[in-house]
Amino acid sequence: MIKLLKPRISVYDCPDAIVFKDDGKRQKIYDQLKVKILRESTISFFTSNVLLEEGRKYSRNCFNVPNGVDIQSFIQSGYRIPKEIGNLSGTILGVVGTFDDRIDLDLIEFILENIRDATLLFVGPLQMKMGSLIKHPRVVLTGKRAYEEIPGFIRRFDVGLIPYRINDVTKAIYPVKLHEYLMLGKPVVSANLPEVEKFSEVVWIANSKEEFVSSIRKALQMNNRIVEKKRIATAKKNSWEKRVNQIERIIAKYC
């Protein structure tokens, strides 16, 4: 298609690793098309270093442009409290995003068993079977919400979670939710993902279920205004505006 259209430049954007489980034929077709596009595109952008290194096997013009945060959407002084959480009390551990097989349900169950005064609030579309968790009294599922509603939910979090399984797919992820949590000054506890580990100064990184629970407890106990400001400053360095400026500078070199 690129050769047919003959554009002045062509840009390929790769935000995630794509894996077709139990479908080797579709995976082979996808992988072949990806390699073809990489070789034919003028520039290719990748959100993580894992994806970047894979792309560089087929093209020299590959660049790492991570995900960011829309600062303007998160700096409002007040947010409407969503009705789903208006009556919630106690500690709220929150997760924003799509709920699919990247989420570690065993970890979620372990958290509920070991932090019994906490409610787990899941904000986003549900694309996985959650078993008994679907009816758990301390699990709240909001479903898909408009982007402008997300800050209102995160405001109510006591800790933002990134509870992913560790596998080839998640190792290539740069979670958008990371900087959304940080932009509102929230403590963050995450599985040990390569792209999150870079922010270990402002994020609690856990290597096991036990460490995840321990990190949540520490995050709740050690939260203060000084560390909140540090989290916000980190998020501001990773705004979408800065990402767009980076992309514009790269593209300008090829125009």
End-to-end CA distance of the chain: 20
Is the CB of residue 115 less than 8 Å from the CB of residue 216?
yes
Taking the C-alpha atoms of residue 246 and residue 84, their distance in angstroms, rounded to an integer, is 38
Chain mean position to CA 60: 27
For the entire predicted model, the pTM comes to: 0.92
Type of residue at 59: S
Give me the percent of the chain exceeding a pLDDT of 70: 96
Q: Is 64 helix (H, G, I), strand (E, B) or coil?
A: strand
- The domains located in the chain, with CATH, are 2-68+239-252 (no CATH), 71-236 (3.40.50.2000)
pLDDT single digits (tens) 121-154: 999 999 999 888 999 999 999 999 998 899 999 9
Average pLDDT over every residue of 83-110 = 93
pLDDT single digits (tens) 196-221: 999 999 999 999 999 999 999 999 99
pLDDT single digits (tens) 12-32: 999 888 888 776 888 899 889
Average pLDDT over every residue of 140-169 = 94
pLDDT the model gives residue 174:
97
**Phi and psi angles of residue 230, each rounded to the nearest 5 degrees, phi first:** -65, -40
Taking the C-alpha atoms of residue 239 and residue 118, their distance in angstroms, rounded to an integer, is 31
Instruction: Give DSSP secondary structure letters for 18-47.
Output: ---TT-HHHHHHHHHHHHHHHHH-SEEEES
Q: In what order do the strands lie in the sheet with 43-46?
A: 11-14, 43-46, 62-64
Average pLDDT over every residue of 149-172 = 94
pLDDT the model gives residue 157:
95
Beta strands in the chain (DSSP E): 11-14, 43-46, 62-64, 91-96, 118-123, 139-141, 159-162, 188-191, 204-206
pLDDT single digits (tens) 31-72: 899 999 999 999 999 999 999 999 999 999 999 999 999 998
- The closest alpha carbon to 15, from 162, 172, 181, belongs to 172
pLDDT at 1 over 90: no
**Phi and psi angles of residue 208, each rounded to the nearest 5 degrees, phi first:** -155, 170
